[in-house]
Amino acid sequence: MSDPILRIKDLKVNYGGIEAVKGISLDVPKGEIVTLIGANGAGKSSTLRAISGLVKPTSGTIEFEGEDITAKNPTDIVTKGITLVPEGRKIFPDLTVKENLRVGAYLRKDDITDDINWVYDLFPRLKERSWQAGGTLSGGEQQMLAVGRALMSRPKVIMMDEPSLGLAPLVVRGIFDIIKEINKQGMTILLIEQNANMALKTAHLGYVMETGRITLSGPGKELLTNESVKAAYLGT
């Protein structure tokens, strides 16, 4: 395996006065889908927030393409090529779909017409709703918009926080198809999920997180058959 695009070493993060992440290390190889699964409050979201610079880790390092990006601010991190799709979608409800996409490309100074068309190709539904306010979209469409918005910054790594949250099963499948499609186009993906089944089926590499620590890791397909994962997350 070549050098990973994103490498996390002994990361500790405090969230609301509690140590939510208690020293985790994980590698995200370039061009792969990596998933981090675990129950509510395992510290998955805190990990992503620390990588994207929204919170400062208490210790540990985050390396991106060999460069230390620990505790940099979100603006720098997005510029370097890591973009977060936040939990609960968090699209801008009063902006139109197109404006949402434009905000996604806010830090870019070059022409974004091609990228908007690229996102519209990925999500034809967004093209139809181009002039609609983001808040009027359905849950699934909002998730598409959130992913599309993140793609607009032309990231090298896209991090998704629970993209399947609160969506109907059929819509969830659609979202995961899109994740695979984006990955095929060369994007590295770090995915957080409670829907362990879907996530492990999609991912090349999986990490299992429990109360702030990583307890298991391995190829997604292997974890799917792992007895303790089955018992804890797959309900079989």
Partner 1 sequence: MTNTLVKKNNTGKYIAIICLALVYILAILLDNFLPATSFTLMLIPVLQKGAIYALLCVSMNLLNGFTGLFSLGQAGFMLIGGYVYAAITIPAAQHDSVYQYFDSAIRFSIPEILSNVIGKGPGTIVGVIISLIIAGLIAALFAFLIGFPVLRLKSDYLAIATLGFAEIIRAVFQWEGLGAITNGSNQLRKYVTLSGMELNFGSFTLELGTLFLFVIVTVCVALVVLLINSSYGRALKAIRDDEIAAEAMGISLFKHKMISFIISSFFAGVGGALLAMFQTTIQANAFKSAMTYEILLMVVIGGIGSISGSCIASFLYIALSEWILRFLDEGSLFGLISVPFFRDGFRKVVFSVVIMIIVLFFSKGIMGDKEISFKGIGGLLTRLKNKKKKTAPAAEAVSEEGEANE
- Interface ranges with partner 1 (CB under 8 A): 52, 54, 73-75, 77-79, 83-86, 90-96, 98-99, 102-104, 106-107, 130-131, 149-150, 153
Contact 41, 16 (CB under 8 A): no
Pick the closer one to partner 1 by CB: 88 or 169: 88
Of the pair 137, 198, the CB lying nearest partner 1 is at: 137
Closest to partner 1 by CB, 56 or 221:
56
User: Smaller CB distance to partner 1: residue 93 or 169?
Assistant: 93
C-alpha–C-alpha distance, residues 28 and 31, integer Å: 9
DSSP label of 96: B
Minimum CB separation from partner 1 for residue 55, in Å? Answer: 11
Biggest CA–CA distance in the chain, Å, is: 50
The three-point CA angle 141-144-148 to 5° equals 140
Closest CA to 122 of 150, 84, 164: 150
Minimum CB separation of residue 28 from partner 1 in Å reads: 18
Q: Which is nearer to partner 1, 102 or 213 (CB)?
A: 102
CB of 5 to partner 1, least distance (A): 19
Give, in order, the Cα–Cα distances in Å from 233 to each of 37, 48, 154, 189, 214: 9, 20, 33, 21, 15
Cα distance between residue 133 and residue 110, in whole Å = 25
The minimum distance between CB 103 and partner 1, in angstroms, equals 5
Residue 170: strand pairing partners: none
Shortest gap between Cβ of 224 and partner 1 (angstroms)? 30
